[in-house]
Amino acid sequence: MSTASRQPVTSDPKAMPAHVAIIMDGNGRWARARGLERLEGHWQGYRTLKKIVYAADEMGIRHLTVYGFSSENWRRPEAEVGGLMSLMLRAMKAEIDELAANGIRVRVLGRLSQLPADLRQEFEQAMERTADYQRMTFNLAINYGGRSEIVDAVRAVAAEAASGRIRPEEITEETVASRLYAPDTPDPDLLIRTAGEMRLSNFLLWETAYSEIWVTDTFWPDFSQELLAEAVRGYQARTRRFGAVVE
């Protein structure tokens, strides 16, 4: 990705967030409230995600990262996990042409080796096909855990140290950050969580050090372009200090 397509983190209150991250939560509760199966909520969540990807692009958000399946979500009933895996496969097959036609770079963040082989292959093809696209980066966190991501980065740095390519005293925050799953995506400016929970659930632990957090009670399937715009306005009204004094 060229540097021209990236925007620096800025404290200009009117600026668009360069990177918006979303914890898409509440599919199950949305379904239960309608007497539907949880999987119906996930399918509706997919339809919402599709709208939000293109809405974010239209608004000029350059990087969008969404939490689709956490490393802890394997604890769910087998039928739900299996249903989510086949949803993701069908969704990626259905959407990749349109994403590519719109110049959107797709990247999947997480331990892909633990996913079903057909899904992993679909994700790898999507990433390869769109690797050079620069209009917007769409990161999909699947089998993702913030702690695993840091562990994987630490393993990479440790291997370099063991082979003598880097000395321990040379290791900086940049060294670690450059081994994370999306090293050329800036840290999220704005983190949105739907369905009201006030927690990170192991999402982007390193990257959200200074993200502005915006939570809505709305369940993910009911999330909308209007709510995204509201979150951005909320973000723009905040004062980001990054530990400094800002008058």
| Rounded Cα distance, 41 and 99, in Å | 23
- Does residue 181 bind ligand IPE (CB under 6 A)? no
Report, in Å, the least distance between residue 106 CB and ligand IPE.
17
Which tokens belong to 91? Answer: 């969704």
CB-based contact 144:205 (threshold 8 Å): no
Question: Is residue 132 annotated as part of the catalytic site, yes or no?
Answer: no
**Residue 80 vs 184, nearer CB to ligand IPE:** 80
| Token reading at 93 | 């097959």
With contacts defined by CB under 5 A, name the span among 18-26, 36-44, 91-99, 222-230 that binds Mg ion. Answer: 18-26
DSSP code, position 74: G
Q: Which of 12, 25, 143, 222 is catalytic?
A: 25
145 phi and psi, to 5 degrees? -140, 135
Annotated catalytic residue, options 12, 27, 57, 73: 73
**Burial class of residue 69 in the structure, from the number of CB atoms within 10 Å of its CB (0-12 exposed, 13-18 middle, 19+ buried):** buried
Smallest distance from ligand IPE to CB 76, Å: 8
> x/- site string to Mg ion, residues 21 to 60, per CB under 5 A?
----x-----------------------------------
Mask for 24-53, x = binds ligand IPE (CB under 6 A): xxxxxx------------------------
Buried b / exposed e along 138-148 (16+ C-beta atoms within 10 A): bbbbbbbbbeb
Of 16 and 23, CB closest to ligand IPE: 23
25 is catalytic: yes
Give first-to-last CA distance, the chain, whole Å. Answer: 35
Who contacts 197 (Cβ-Cβ below 8 Å, separation ≥6)?
25, 215
* Chain positions contacting Mg ion, by CB under 5 A: 25
Active site residues: 25, 73
* Chain positions contacting ligand IPE, by CB under 6 A: 23-29, 67-70, 73, 84, 195, 197, 199, 201
